[in-house]
Structure 1
Amino acid sequence: MHAFLGFVRKEFRHILRDRRTLLILFGMPVAQLVLFGFVIRNEVNDVTLLIADPSQDAMTQALTHRLLASRYVDGVAYQTHLDGIEAAFRQGLAREALLFEPGFAERLQREGLARVQVIADATDPNVANTILAYTTAIIQSYEQDLAATTAVSPGIVPNVRMRFNPELRSVYLFVPGLIALVLMLVCALMTSITITREKEVGTMEVLLVSPLRPVPIIVGKVVPYVVLSFVIVLVILGLARTVFGVPIRGSVGLLLAECLLFIFCALALGILISTRTSSQQVATMIALAGLLMPTVLLSGFIFPISSMPAPLQALSHLIPARWFLAILRGIMIKGLGLADLWTETLALAGMTGLFLIASIRSFHDRL
């Protein structure tokens, strides 16, 4: 028994002296708790609301102020034309618009009935439903206050219109995210494992003493994954279009070019991980914890970025999948072109270039 207790004490000492083991044991659970605790939220915050109010009467102003006072509305912008509202939705500058009918207060007082059109960006159907629920509750609360202060029982009828996804199909949300997740899995994870395996079995040294230089060796390693990843993109897009009815409203050529750009970005990350690790096990852990988890949590794949705390919103700018998802949804769901998505494309291209340079330099330094 004494020998057994001595053995246990020795194991405890080994664990406590190994900083990497302690980081995995305590750091990862804390990081996961913080991420999941702040990211997994059902509420929606910081919504920019567009208002079209031709009458500008006291009742429309009172309802607008009540909406602005709620915690889900971040600001109000006034529009006089539908074209301006449509442009704001396409550029992602607003998620909701309210269009009051002319003579709103006069009609409400005379007839006891007035209409307001509520338009929501349904690219993310969950967010659209939440925004609509908030707005409807505020309108009903305003109705009740009016009924308590006037002799007529007023009725405000919201005419709801869901833009880009009128049927609120969740597949519109998940297919672009699935493309990003699969590409990150195939490109980054598999590339890092493949190159690390060559180092483990000793064949990488054999390749390095061959007539081939390091860069052609790496290119030869990743070319099959580029081709396979591109085929996977075509398969997913084909299934999404034919089986699930997900539209591709923008340019197919631009969509495929953006997918190819993200493939190169993920491959560069995989190469960078492989040059910094010595075993497949470590490479897998880093890829899963450092790439796949942020892709799911911080890219807007499932949870809206606008609902996250400010530090996590800032951190999400460093996640390539965040920009790629915005590009995919813009092209597929909204029909946007490069003129509308040049900021996201430039950010993704810049990250790709930095990761490629870092991975090539790291490969030369390590091997």
Structure 2
Amino acid sequence: MKQFLSFVKKEFLHILRDKRTLFILLGMPIVQIIIFGFALTNEVKNEGIAVLDLAKDQSSGELIRQMDASRYFELRAYLQNEQQIEKTFLKGQIKLAVVIPPGFDHQLRHTNKAQLQLIADASDPNLANTMVNYAGSIVQQFQSTIFPQQQAAYQIQTELRMLYNPQLKGAYNFVPGVMAMVLLLVCTMMTAITIVKEKESGTMEIMLVSPLVPFSITLAKAVPYLLLSIVNIISILLLSVYVLDVPIRGSVLLLIGMSILFTMVSLSLGLLISARSSSQQTAMFISLVGMFLPTVMFSGFMFPIENMPKPLQVISNIVPAKWYYIIVKSVMIKGVGFNAIWKEALILAGMCTFFLAMAIRNFKIRLA
């Protein structure tokens, strides 16, 4: 244990002496969370919706068919009562709920007016706005075609309700995404050069003749970055709450715990890259370019995964940032507990175990 702590201390000293590394570790996450939190924006199609049809008449049935037939929505659930709406949203099955009140057809025929309620998941405000606009267009089209033989101007009044993000702030969507991107890139990039740096500096021989086994050496390399990443996690959450006004509706301890788990995945991946690389430039290139594009493309916070072809949707499942993004949005924005995110947590734990095992297996005990 004494030798292990000595290795951890040595790694800490290396980090503290390198001002550029310290800036990348602690400064870059703060800069990115502020820039991306204020600047980014996006949109989509093919989103899941649920319908609570309290009318069950001809007009409501036709409106539901038109919405399901559009390329914008996919009908995933028929609800029986209002209590099921929130539960369906929390399960992540839908992003929009359509509530049709009793007597919809009767009101439309006899008063030329009818009401309709659209409930959108506004944790992604741009997506919520887009879905509401699409739904409004379908309602307008339905309104003009349902009774073509009559001249009366039928009007359907829609009532809008935005869940989780009533003010439609873009930061609610991008803060979770930027947290995933920053932690993955910074942790992976920093640990990716640790082992290969020892090879290039000629100190690897000293490490190899030490009493520590490869597992302990690899772990000692990761511990300092894990501790510094915890500082990053806390600073990002503080900036999110007090600068970007993004609330933490769920358990803070659960959110920090899941962030530490994701950080361990990133560190393990970085150690694997470092063990397989022959130079710092190679390790840096793989971690920066190889991780940045998949994180941006397949995590779901920049480009909706539902819009992608099936092969790309399958590929997105191997990107750790996708599962962490889901966890952060669920805990931070929607306020769910561990029972709603245990599958994502289990996937991240499996990835961490796999990457760490591969890093230890690829750790060379001889320098050729």
Q: State the TM-score, normalized to the length of structure 2.
A: 0.85
2:224 and 2:254 map into 1 onto residues whose CA distance is 22
Q: 4+ residue runs of structure 1 moved beyond 6 angstroms? A: none
Give the partner amino acid of 2:206.
V
Q: Deviation at 1:148?
A: 3.5
Indicate the residue corresponding to 2:166 in structure 1: 166
* CA displacement, residues 28-68 of structure 1 (integer Å, 9 cap, x when unaligned): xxxxxxxxxxxx995412x2221111121111111111111
**For structure 1, which segment, 163-172 or 68-77, has the greater mean C-alpha deviation from structure 2 after superposition?**
68-77
* CA displacement, residues 291-341 of structure 1 (integer Å, 9 cap, x when unaligned): 121111101121111111111110000011111110011000011111111
Contact 1:44 / 1:72 at 8 angstroms: preserved in 2? yes
Secondary structure of 1:117's aligned partner: strand
Contact 1:146 / 1:154 at 8 angstroms: preserved in 2? no
**For structure 1, which segment, 74-83 or 198-207, has the greater mean C-alpha deviation from structure 2 after superposition?**
74-83
2:365 and 2:207 map into 1 onto residues whose CA distance is 16
Indicate the residue corresponding to 2:234 in structure 1: 234
Indicate the residue corresponding to 2:29 in structure 1: none
Contact 2:44 / 2:304 at 8 angstroms: preserved in 1? no
Q: Deviation at 1:222?
A: 1.6
Indicate the residue corresponding to 2:49 in structure 1: 49
Give the partner amino acid of 2:154.
P
Gaps of 5+ in 1: 1-39
Larger RCO: 1 or 2 (CA < 8 Å, sep 6+):
2
Indicate the residue corresponding to 2:151 in structure 1: 151
Secondary structure of 1:188's aligned partner: helix
Change (3 A) 1:95 1:312: same
* CA displacement, residues 109-165 of structure 1 (integer Å, 9 cap, x when unaligned): 111111000011122222212211211111001111246431321000111111111
Gaps of 5+ in 2: 1-40
2:102 and 2:119 map into 1 onto residues whose CA distance is 17
1:116 and 1:256 map into 2 onto residues whose CA distance is 40
Q: Deviation at 1:251?
A: 0.9
Indicate the residue corresponding to 2:362 in structure 1: 362
Q: State the TM-score, normalized to the length of structure 1.
A: 0.86
Contact 1:48 / 1:94 at 8 angstroms: preserved in 2? yes
2:127 and 2:353 map into 1 onto residues whose CA distance is 33
Matches within 5 A, 1:14-93: 42-45=43-46, 47-93=47-93
Give the partner amino acid of 1:95.
K
* CA displacement, residues 224-268 of structure 1 (integer Å, 9 cap, x when unaligned): 100110000000101111111111111111111111111111011
Indicate the residue corresponding to 1:140 in structure 2: 140
Change (3 A) 1:364 1:201: closer
Aligned pairs, number:
327
Q: Deviation at 1:212?
A: 3.0
Secondary structure of 1:52's aligned partner: strand
Contact 2:214 / 2:365 at 8 angstroms: preserved in 1? no
Q: Deviation at 1:76?
A: 4.3
Q: Deviation at 1:216?
A: 2.4
Indicate the residue corresponding to 1:22 in structure 2: none
Q: What is the RMSD of the two structures over their aligned residues, measured on CA atoms?
A: 1.7
